[in-house]
Amino acid sequence: MCLTLPRDLSIIGFGNLNFAQYSEPTLTTIEQPRFKIGRQAMLLLLTKIEGHAIDKNAKLLECHLIILIIRDSVCPPKN
């Protein structure tokens, strides 16, 4: 059995890497806030270096499925 994208199966990637737009079919992807993730990681590192405890269960960043770059790897569901 051979599946065809997106007719039989839709695929969504995560991270919006540059190569997603060059794949065949082009990959639909969710973009992540890289700058915010890096900034939060740096702030946590500085907190740790200063000798403060870090709550391992702390929610660091809000996650929203807003930035979706729709390309050719998805289609509407069949009825």
Reference 5, options 70, 75, 57; nearest CA is 75
Predicted TM-score (pTM) of the model is: 0.56
Residue 29, classified by CB atoms within 10 Å of its CB into exposed (0-12), middle (13-18) or buried (19+), is: buried
Q: What is the pLDDT of residue 63?
A: 55
Mean pLDDT (the chain) is 80
Condensed to tens digits (0 to 9), the pLDDT of residues 36-69 reads 888 888 988 899 999 998 877 765 566 555 567 7
* Domain count of the fold of the chain: 1
Tell me the C-alpha to C-alpha distance, in Å, between residue 25 and each of 29, 48, 76.
12, 44, 16
Pairing of β 12-14 and β 68-69: unpaired
Q: What is the pLDDT of residue 28?
A: 85
User: Domain containing 21: what range?
Assistant: 1-53+60-79
